[in-house]
Amino acid sequence: MTAPALEDLLRELTPQVLGALVRRHGQFEGCEDAVQEAVLAAAVQWPAEGVPDNPRGWLVTVASRRLIDQVRSDHARRDRESATAADVVPEDVPDTDDTLVLLFLCCHPALTAASQTALTLRAVGGLTTAEVARAFLVPEATMAARISRAKQRVRAAGSSFTLPGGAERQDRLRVVLHVLYLIFNEGYTASSGSELHRADLAREAIRLARMVHAQLPGDGEVTGLLALMLLTHARREARTTAAGDLVPLDEQDRAKWDRELIGEGTGLVKASLAGPALGPYQLQAAIAATHADAATAGETNWPQVHALYLIMERIAPNPMVTLNRAVALAEIAGPSAGLALLSALDSDERLAGHHRLLSVRAHLLEKAGDTAGAYECYRGAASATASIAEQRYLESRASRLRPRVPPRSPR
Amino acid sequence: MQFLISLHINPAVLDALSDEEKAALGGGHGEFIEALRKSGELISTQALVDPSQAAVVSVRNGQPAVTDGPFLESKEYLGGFYLIDCEDKERAIALAAQIPDAAIEGLGVEVRQVMFAAGQLEA
């Protein structure tokens, strides 16, 4: 078995093994450590000795032994005899897929988003602490402390290893989807010092979303999120130049879009829109599919994009949605209509001084022919963003509109 | 999100503190570091030597010239920093408020986000 294939197998088995262990012994915290150790042992032993006939059973057995050792040494330290977990090396491994239960546990509402993402990547994604730390550009010690604190919190919250029922399940599922969305987005919002790892994070989020979708194929928002990820990921090659500069959607080379991912994403969007209820991920995916459908930027179906943002504003009002709708509205009804919509956002504290509000206003002012106003807004947006790539892009837009242009250079 | 919390120190203000207040300041930083470490939000923290030890380096016509620091003429100078990774700016501000310097008139605690390389242009 090749090294990547082995890694894939181990990462696929990690949540299954962890689920089996927690089901048997409880104590998520200890089980999670034991499974990590078993997976590390497999990564060392299997390439040399060959993959065992029943890899999952091997991992469960080794992890169980580690857990027992751990429980015994804990007990010994407390000078007490171990009565629990002594006879637990399992012969049979239950066949249930506990991935979903684990995801609900890792995305426990008692945790911060940063802890939820870290714990999910380790316990469900099967990444090591060092890999998670590299992905988030923090030292391993920082990430180890974060994960350990997260596990303590989960234990303190007294969570049971079952799927929550009824309305709570829907609420918790929303958190799970948000965490997967954050993992996916992390690929665009953190340093490119390790671009390889960033792309891996997007792929990892897609892999996890596929796992959830396999468990809940009828849930429109799960389908919508997976579709949104695929359609966004399809544009990854066109989104930046070789030099790392950002390319806006209307200037992207659409031949570089990944048609296979678009096909799959579009299919999922259609399936999800046929369902009974609409959610924000489905709508965002439908918008991404509309863009993907246009052979050139000029052929974009803006009335449809605008209508989708309008529905989104109704079901999940958010100033960022209104901001995006203003862009679509300007395409249909002209820049002044878009600008009028923006002025309604000025009083919204959540967006005040936000670089996105400034950059959209700059864009619309430029379209409206107000060069001086657009210049000021691009400059303001450039100083408000924390992204070096966005700043470079905004500065370049601004410099094209610089007030003191030599008369011979036509605009 | 990563933030730099910089600590701007005024020697005159520090000298005016009582021994107990100075001890409380040091102890407060110790507790703060421990809490940050446990929560998994601390990337690193450093204290800097006195600005009288600073060297200002400039190169003119290809020739390096070194003069005594500090570069800025000010009563306050950069005494140290915390580099943290936390949820959002609100959390960074809440953490900064736990630093004992923040409660002392004349000492500055400043929070600034660290820029990141990649970015996103939305549809």
User: DSSP alpha helices (H): ranges in chain B?
Assistant: 11-15, 19-39, 89-96
Give the number of C-alpha atoms closer than 13 A to the C-alpha of residue A74, restricted to the C-beta side. Answer: 11
Q: What is the pLDDT along chain A (411 residues), one digit of tens a residue?
A: 788 888 889 999 999 999 999 988 888 999 999 999 999 999 999 999 999 999 999 999 999 999 999 888 877 766 544 444 444 445 455 556 788 999 999 999 999 999 999 999 999 998 989 989 988 889 999 999 999 999 999 989 887 788 888 888 899 999 999 999 999 988 766 544 445 455 688 999 999 999 999 999 999 999 999 999 999 999 988 998 888 888 999 999 999 999 999 999 999 999 999 888 899 999 999 999 999 999 999 999 999 999 999 999 999 999 999 999 999 999 999 999 999 999 989 888 888 889 999 999 999 999 999 999 999 999 999 999 988 889 999 999 999 998 765 666 555
* Residues of A in Cβ contact (< 8 Å) with B114: 386
Measuring CA to CA, which residue among A253, A277, A335 is closest to residue A302?
A335
Q: For chain A, how far is it from start to end, CA to CA, in angstroms?
A: 60
Listed by number, the residues of chain A in 53-72 with a beta carbon closer than 8 Å to a beta carbon of chain B are none
Q: What string of DSSP letters covers A271-321?
A: HHHTSS---HHHHHHHHHHHHHH-SSGGG--HHHHHHHHHHHHHHS--HHH
- Are A288 and B122 within 8 A, CB to CB? no
Query: Can you tell me whether residue A240 is helix, strand or coil?
Result: strand
Residue A243, phi then psi, degrees to nearest 5: -80, 0
Q: Residue A247: its chain B contacts at CB < 8 A?
A: 121
The residues near A122 (Cβ < 8 Å, ≥ 6 apart) are A32, A36, A128, A129, A132, A147
Instruction: Kindly tell me the burial class for residue A105, based on how many C-beta atoms sit within 10 Å of its own C-beta (0-12, 13-18, 19 or more).
Output: buried
Q: Which residue of A has its CA nearest to B85?
A: A138
Contact A224, A283 (CB under 8 A): yes
Cβ contacts of A387 on chain B, cutoff 8 Å: 115-120
CA dihedral A360, A362, A363, A367 (to 10 degrees): 140
Are B42 and B113 in contact by the 8 Å Cβ rule? The answer is no
According to DSSP, the residues that pair with B95 across neighbouring strands are none
Residue labelled with tokens 């093994």? A17
Cβ distance of B120 and A189 shorter than 8 Å = yes
Measure CB to CB from residue B40 to each of A149, A191, A356 and give the nearest one: A149
- Distance of residue A52 Cα from the nearest chain B Cα, in angstroms: 37
Domain architecture of chain B: domains with CATH? 2-113 (3.30.70.1060)
Q: Are B76 and B105 in contact (CB under 8 A)?
A: no
Give the residue ranges of DSSP H helices in A216-258: 220-233
pLDDT number for residue B123: 43
**Are the C-beta atoms of A144 and A127 separated by less than 8 Å?**
no
Say whether B119 sits in a helix, a strand or coil. coil
Task: Please name the member of A141, A246, A249 whose beta carbon is closest to the beta carbon of B123.
Answer: A249
Contacts of A410 (CB under 8 A, 6+ apart): none
What is the pTM for the complete model shown?
A: 0.88
Q: Is A348 helix (H, G, I), strand (E, B) or coil?
A: coil
CB contact under 8 A, B85 and A288: no
Name the region of A366 (left: φ>0; alpha: ψ -120 to 50; beta: rest): alpha
Please, what is the angle between helix A55-77 and helix A3-25, to 10°? 50
pLDDT value of position A19: 92
For residue range B49-86, list pLDDT tens digits in order: 998 899 999 999 999 999 998 998 899 999 999 999 99
How far apart, in whole angstroms, are the C-alpha atoms of residue A267 and residue A249?
A: 22
CATH class of A305-406: mainly alpha
For residue A187, give the nearest of A136, A234, A235 by alpha carbon: A136
Spatial CB neighbours of A353, under 8 Å, sequence gap ≥ 6: A384
Give, for A164, the enclosing helix (H) or strand (E): none
Q: Which of B118, B119, B123 sits opposite A291 (nearest CB)?
A: B123
ipTM: 0.87
* A288 touches B: beta carbon within 8 Å: yes
Would you list the DSSP string of A116-155? HHHHHHHHTT---HHHHHHHTTS-HHHHHHHHHHHHHHHH
Boundaries of every domain in chain A: 3-77, 305-406
Candidates A111, A112, A245, A283, partner chain B, best to mutate (most B CBs within 10 A): A112
Contacts of A148 in chain B (CB under 8 A): 40
